[in-house]
Structure 1
């Protein structure tokens, strides 16, 4: 008889305020490898958090059962966990007391914490002897992080942080690993590493570690997955074998094509209407410089950026003109986010380089607000910052897009309220304006932040992996939104993504960063 790892019969999942899943019955047995899937806000996140101990599993009646062999031996790797890690690093930042930037815990120290090393609050204490031998461990090589062990967590790319979290989870020797949307933001090499990891660990019978995979979309599903549980609207909408689920998906897809085209047209018509009606809320524009008869949005000449001997950008020159929608690509750690932070003002090395934005040289007296009123931003950093004011209601988050603030601190006007409600309806959040941002799933939060960035029709819309955490329907809707924003002619897109299916037709210009080449970048652009 197959060993039973987890059994849940007639239970509910709840937090301190409400019931998240009313009726839950599910079993995980030896030889099974499970995928958890479903739309944003449908219950998937609550289920995963319940398995990891962050939510309560409560019996509904006298015959209810909850048995979990893993109990406290569970480790989760997710966008949510990565965001909490960065928040913790920011809280521990001691840069203001030092004569250099505090890079925080290194990957080596972070991983050593689960191997007998000091915790985050005692990060200045010596490391255990094993920490100096991490490169020799097969788990380190499996996750491909040998070269970044001595880099600060805050200086790692999103993909590098995810791989570091994965390696730490594996070395923690926990019996159950929950990987939530693990491929989001990873380059081709990292995806290949992760698939190999999953195949070697999840496919190993009799091994010490079991894996549950949680995904926003049914793509890149490892062959070792045997079973699927799907959540929708707070309940189980499918529970069975992988083959049966794929048959269900095919049946659903066959009836969607015509409906999708109709929905897209209605969506785009409404978007045009909202944009026109809210023109009065859009920020006043700044003047631009002109090159060859055309205004310039961004101009960088001979830019050099790096830290602690690591050169991220070297002799980098780039010009962005209105209507040139750029796809920015390159492997994890190649400098894509650093480049965008030179534009947003989040990297202070902009002041020692020749960087012009909207006709003004950075460091010539313009304020950060002069810059940001022409920008719309969707990034991992912004998402982390907004999580720190998580009590803001959704209506307030949208209105803050008109004001370029993180959170909302002034009285909202009737015009802003009406505009916010229309945008929320467009994004599928009608009637939810009073909900707190912090109560949404990670994917729902990302959808709200994308709408927030688009509301003022900015000159430049910066999109750093915007579709992280989005389910298939929200992803399609957001990509339609971005394409329509580009078609207006008033906003230029700078788009970072590793997912070829998210590249928009309007992105004819490509900037590719190549950290191991000389030069370190390549521009592929139609003749101007």
Structure 2
């Protein structure tokens, strides 16, 4: 270990049970530095961060290789993957069918207390430690802005709320190194402000410390160079399984500017080529798509009247009225926890309170004999929770994931036909996955998985395409491809888009209708006709 080094890596590699992920690695983090780790999906960034967290191995390439870290096993990673695993844990522990009521599961208070001497998840019925009664007074809880959701079940939290709870737990865990992987994805403006203040506070202490034994150090991981805290000093970039840049933030910003100037020259040409290829694929795979008659322009696809949804004393949707007609593409927005995901789950059938409300899908009232397959055969879905469901299916290759989009299944349980295989490979090529059809879905980075699931949702040209933060975890290249894909699908006239996003830059020109949820207001929503200035 070199003097003033917190982490020192020389002539090493990163590997796991599947083989070498990064063949050559040289990097040093010194006291007082605040690092951003960035890079495209599948480029090595995620492997590197997971290696620092102890989830993959860092091994010397030969006798000259060296890896040393002052943090050793005192590392905690907060990521989209960790949040997905947490939701999966809650589903595995759910006892609703045994207790004849909704099992709230672990609350935020109980989950946080697991690192403060409280019982673990498997013993969640045991009493909490004394500190549980005063969590609200802890500066870490206030810093993460979770005081008001401590007694809410994890499974009832929004994605942003879950991740802030994970952050609070990590901060209270006493771990010396916190790795925050894409922490701003899907957060509303208030949550982003809270996180930026948190980052500035912790990193400020980190940078002002001359000690090489800091109390808490943060490494930030991002998919794209967007909303980077001012406190970052250095950038490490990965691409194609190797380091593609290592230097100061100022040097990286200069490089980014040069790259963007070069890319802008070819952007329109690449976009037109992508759209042309997409339309060609849609035409060639028409036999596998849902055939939606387009004659009735006024067809009501979704209609909700005086809908009320909630649990205990928490009301999510109150006296809610909304109708979606064919060809009306909607942008849905609102703060974390305002009910956006709940609203979409009423449409998909994943929220059982749909049956005690006046909800109509494709002109038929829910609860009048239709099956879930009657609903989903005309739906394409991409959401965080849907992503979690697919991660739970083991051993599925990319070809099968795409084909499952034609079958409306999670995983593939039927024999593939030659036509389906050909169609799947065309879509994979469009998404930049040519030649990777037999790779396991679970081996992909989170961003690559999200890109595959968006392709899967679009293949059958569904009546309604539900997109809940579709660009979560996507790098700039994939993000732009996906936005072009959504816009082109909307132009076909066969598919109506319902799009949730917190990022104004992801709002598409076709989305002329805005549904804005406003919790604790009366009414709790507003419908807006969108203009270019909206």
- TM-score of Structure 1 vs Structure 2, range by shorter chain: over 0.9
Residues 264-315 of structure 1: CA distance to partner in whole angstroms, max 9, x if unpaired? 1111001001111111111355999x8xx82110011111101011111011
Mapping for residues 439-458 of structure 1, pairs under 5 Å: 439-458=443-462
Aligned to 1:328: 332
Measured after TM superposition, the shift of residue 258 of structure 1 is 2.2
Offset at 1:99?
2.1
Q: Deviations over 1:466-504 (max 9, x none)?
A: 000000000000000001011111111000000011111
TM-align CA RMSD: 1.4
Q: Does 2:225 correspond to 1:218? A: yes
Question: Within 1, Cα distance between the matches of 2:433 and 2:310?
Answer: 41
CA distance in 2, matches of 1:17, 1:526: 49
5+ residue gaps, structure 2, are none
1:275 aligns with 2:276: no
Deviations 1:242-276 (A, max 9, x none): 11111111111111112121111111001001111
Instruction: Check whether the contact 2:511–2:530 (CA below 8 A) recurs between aligned residues.
Output: no
Counterparts of residues 376-455 of structure 1 (less than 5 Å): 376-455=380-459
What pairs up with 1:84-123 in 2 under 5 angstroms?
A: 84-123=85-124
- SS of 2:115 mapped into structure 1: helix
TM-aligned CA distance change 1:287 to 1:426, over 3 Å:
closer
Contact 1:329 1:496 survives alignment (8 Å): yes
Count of aligned pairs between the two proteins: 524
Q: Residue 170 of structure 1 aligns with which residue? A: 171
Partner of 1:3: 4
Could you tell me which residue of structure 1 aligns to residue 488 of structure 2? 484
TM-score (structure 1 length as normaliser): 0.98
Q: SS where residue 10 of structure 2 aligns? A: strand
Partner of 1:373: 377
- Residue 467 of structure 1 aligns to a residue whose secondary structure is coil
Matched, 1:140 2:141: yes
Q: Which residue pairs with 1:158 in the alignment?
A: 159
User: Which of 240, 244, 261 is the equivalent residue of 2:251?
Assistant: 244
Greater than 3 Å deviation, 4+ residue runs? 284-288
Deviation track 1:320-344 (CA, whole Å, cap 9, x = no partner) reads 0111110100000000000000000
Return the alpha-carbon distance in structure 1 between the equivalents of residues 491 and 367 of structure 2.
33
User: Partners in 2 of 1:161 and 1:57 — Cα distance?
Assistant: 30
CA contact (8 A) 1:287 1:359 kept: no
Checking the alignment, whether the CA contact within 8 Å between 2:294 and 2:494 is kept in structure 1 is no
Tell me if structure 2 keeps the 8 A contact 1:513–1:521: yes
Find the counterpart in structure 1 of residue 35 from structure 2: 34
User: 1:14-50 CA deviation, whole Å, 9 max, x = no partner?
Assistant: 0012100000000000010000000000000000000
Measured against aligned partners, the alpha-carbon deviations of 1:448-481 in whole angstroms (never above 9, x if no partner) come to: 0000000001010000000000000000000000
CA contact (8 A) 1:446 1:466 kept: yes
State the Cα distance separating 1:390 from its structure 2 match.
3.5
Distance apart, 1:100 and its partner CA: 1.2
Structure 1 portions without partners, runs of 5+: none
SS of aligned partner of 2:255: helix
3-state SS in 1 of match to 2:494: coil
Which of residues 359, 364, 368 in structure 2 aligns to 1:360?
A: 364
Q: Deviations over 1:39-92 (max 9, x none)?
A: 000000000000000000010011111001001000110000000111111111
Query: Structure 1's 203 and 390: CA in aligned 2 closer, same or farther, altered over 3 A?
Result: farther
Q: Which moved more, 1:278-287 or 1:75-84?
A: 278-287
2:45 is matched with which residue? 44
Query: What CA distance in whole angstroms lies between the structure 1 residues aligned with 2:320 and 2:391?
Result: 33
Partner of 1:459: 463
- In the other structure, the counterpart of 2:79 is 78
Q: 1:240 is paired with a residue of what secondary structure?
A: strand
User: What is the alpha-carbon distance in structure 1 between the residues aligned to residue 292 and residue 245 of structure 2?
Assistant: 51
